[in-house]
Chains A and B, each alone.
Chain A
Amino acid sequence: MPGVHVAQKIEADTVRFGLLRRVRYEPFNYSRRWSLRTLFLIATVFLYAPIVVLVIFSFNDSRRGGNVIWKGFTTKYYSKAFQNDELMLAFANSLTIALVTMVLAVILGTLTAVLLWRFRFPFKPLVEGLVSLPIVIPEICMGVSLALFFSSMGWMKTGNLMWPLNLVNITIAHITFCFPFAAMVIRARLDSFNRETEEAARDLGASEWRVLKDILIPHMRPGIIAAALLAFTLSLDDFVITFFTSGPNTVTFPVKIYSMVRFSVTPEINAASTVLILMTLILTWLALRYQRALER
C-alpha cells in the first residue's frame, strides 16, 4: 500500500519540520533573509561611506592633512573654493561643455535612433555596431585616439582661442562618446511605440510632418529627456577623455581637481567636490520628479 508508506513518511517529516513554527516556503524570498539583508546593508555602507566622509571633512577646520583628524567646523573652504578663480573657470568650462554636449548629443542621438528604428538598409548590423562601439571601448583608447587626431589636424591650437571657442575640442570629444548613449536610450523608448497610432493619424489625414510632430516626438519625449540628463551627467563626469584632449588653458572641473589632488589633499577639494555631488543629487531629484509626473 503506497498510502501507508507515504503516511509514515509524512509523519516523520512533520516531526522534523513541525518544530519550526512557521515554515515559509517561497523559493524567491531572498530579500527576507537576514544574512542577505545584512550583506546589502554593508555593501551600501561601502558605497556611501567614502562620499559621506568626504562631505563631512569639507567642513573640517584643518589646513594640512585635512582628511585625518577632525579639528572643528568651518565653512571657510567653501568660500575659498568659490574665490579660486581657476577652479571657478574650470567649473564654468565643465558646465558649458556639458550643456552644448547635451543639446548636440540629443539631436544626433534622436536622429540616429530614428534611423535604426525606422529603416532597413544594407550593412545595418555594421552601423549598429559602429554606434554602440564608443560605449564599450576603453576610455583611454578613445582619449588617446582623439588626442592624436586633434594634434595631427592641427586643432590643438584652438585651445588658445577666445572663450568659449577654445573648448571646441573637448566638446567634440564629449559629443562623440555621449551621443551613442543618447541614441540607445531613445531607441529603447521607440520600441514601445505603437505603429498603429501613426497609421491612425495618417488615416485621419495627418501629413508626414504632422505625424512626426503630433505622434512620434511626444512619444519619444521621455526618452529624449532621459538621454539629455544622461549626456549632461556623462559629460560632467568625464575625466580620462578630457584629460587627453584638454590643453593648459582649457581645464575642466575634474581635470582641475585631478591636478589639485596630485599637488596636495586639501579641504578645498572636498568643498568643491561636495558642490558637484550636490548638483548630481539635484539633477537626479529632478529626473525622478519628471518620471513621477509622467507616470501620473
Chain B
Amino acid sequence: MQQRAGQRPAAFIATGLPGIGWLLAFFVAPLSIILLYSFGENVSLTQVETTGTLENYRRIFEPEILKLGWRSIRIAFISTLICLVIGFPMALVIATSSQRAKPWLLLLIMLPFWTNLLIRTYALLNILGTRGRLNELLVWLHGGMRQALDIIGLSEAGLLADRFTPITFLGTEGGVIYGIVYVSLPFAILPLYSVLERMDTSLLEASIDLGAGQWTTFRRVLLPLALPGVLTAAVITFIPALGQFLTPDLLGRGQVDMIANVIERQFKRANDWPFGSALSLTLLYVTFLLLTLRAFSDARRARRTENRG
C-alpha cells in the first residue's frame, strides 16, 4: 500500500520538509529553550544563564507549590469525573437516537464548544455571581420547596431555612470546577459518543437473551465495552483541565490558583523565567505520563487482537 520514501525522494522531501521543518523550528526549538532555562538562573532582570542548577526543580517541592499542584490535580480530577458522569448518559442518548436526530443533537452539544473559550468563561461570571442567575434559580427553587412544605404541613419541621443564603461560587473551588466542567463537557462527550455509536447492539441483546436484566447488561456488557472511550474522554478532559489558566483566573478571582496561574505569574509579573520553565516542563511530564499510560492500554488491546488465530 504505502511507498518507501526512497522510491520517490523528491515527493517525500516536498511533502515532509515544510511541516516537519516548521515543527522543529517553532515547536521543538522553543521546548528545548524552556528545557535549558529550567536549569538556569536569573543573572539580571532580563538575562538568564543556563548553569545546570537543580534549584528550580527543588523549588517545586516547596509546600506552597505542592499545595497548588495537589489542588490542580484535585480540581482536574473532580471536573473530569463530573464530565464523565454527565457526559456518558448524554452520549448514550445521542448514540441511541434516530439516525435523523443524531447529527442535530451532536451539533447542539458541539455548538457551545465552537464558541470562544474566553467568552464562555466570561459568560459564566454572570451566572455564578452571588446575585447571578444560578443563585436566582436556587432562590426560586427554595421558595417553591418551602411552599410545597407548607402545603403538606411540614413548614415548622425546620427542614429548610426561612431565607436562602446565596452560595458563593466565584473565588471558590466549586466555582472553578463548575467552569471547567462547563468548558470541557462537549469535548468529553465526543469520544464517549463515538464508542457508543459503534456499539454492537447484538451483544446487548445476547446478554438480555441469556437472562440478564437491563441494569446487569449495562454493568457487565455495555460499560466494559465502552471503557476505551471512557478512558479517552478522561484523558482528553483531564490534561487541559490540569493546565487550565483562564477558568481559575476569571472565576477563581486569584483565590483558587492552579499550576498554570503560577506559571503565568513567573513570566508576566515575578519575572522568574527559569522557575516558570521548570514548572511548565513538570506539567508537560505529567501530560506525557498520562498519554503513555493511555497508549500502553491501547497497545495491550491491539496485541490481544493481533494474537488471533
**Chain A: interface secondary structure?**
helix
Q: Which of B63-71, B108-116, B149-157 contacts its partner?
A: B108-116
In the complex formed, the residue of B with least CB distance to A238 is B117
Contact with A along B270-288 (1 / 0, CB 8 A): 0001001100110110010
Q: Is the CB of B284 within 8 A of A176?
A: no
Q: Which of A46-54, A75-83, A217-225 contacts its partner?
A: A46-54
Q: Is the CB of A141 within 8 A of B86?
A: no
Nearest Cβ distance between residue A35 and chain B, in whole angstroms?
A: 9
**Chain B: interface secondary structure?**
helix
Q: Which residues of chain A have C-beta atoms less than 8 A from B89's C-beta? A: 30, 36, 39-40
A258 within 8 A of partner (CB): yes
A79 to B174, CA, bound (A): 37
Nearest Cβ distance between residue B98 and chain A, in whole angstroms?
A: 8
Q: Which residues of chain B have C-beta atoms less than 8 A from A118's C-beta? A: 2-3, 11, 15
Q: Which residues of chain B have C-beta atoms less than 8 A from A280's C-beta? A: 114-116
Q: Is the interface on chain B under 10, 10 to 19, 20 to 34, or 35 or more residues?
A: 35 or more
Question: A residues touching B (Cβ–Cβ < 8 Å)?
Answer: 25, 27-32, 36-37, 39-40, 43-44, 46-51, 53-54, 57, 67-68, 107-109, 111-112, 114-115, 117-121, 127, 130-131, 133-134, 136-142, 144-149, 152, 172-173, 175-176, 179-180, 183, 195, 233, 236-237, 239-240, 244, 254, 257-258, 261, 265, 269, 273, 276-277, 280-281, 283-284, 288
- Contacts A39-B90, A138-B287 aside, 19 further interface pairs with beta carbons under 8 A come to A28-B201, A28-B204, A31-B92, A49-B133, A51-B115, A51-B123, A115-B16, A119-B2, A119-B15, A121-B12, A134-B27, A136-B236, A137-B284, A137-B287, A140-B243, A141-B31, A239-B116, A276-B116, A280-B114
Question: B residues touching A (Cβ–Cβ < 8 Å)?
Answer: 1-5, 8, 11-12, 14-16, 18-20, 22-23, 26-31, 33-34, 37, 86, 89-90, 92-98, 101, 107-109, 111-112, 114-120, 122-127, 129, 131-133, 182, 185-186, 199, 201, 204-205, 207-208, 214, 217, 236, 239-240, 242-243, 245-246, 250, 260, 263-264, 267, 273, 276-277, 280-281, 283-284, 287, 291
The 6 closest A-B pairs by CB, nearest first: A138-B243, A112-B19, A149-B30, A145-B30, A27-B204, A50-B123
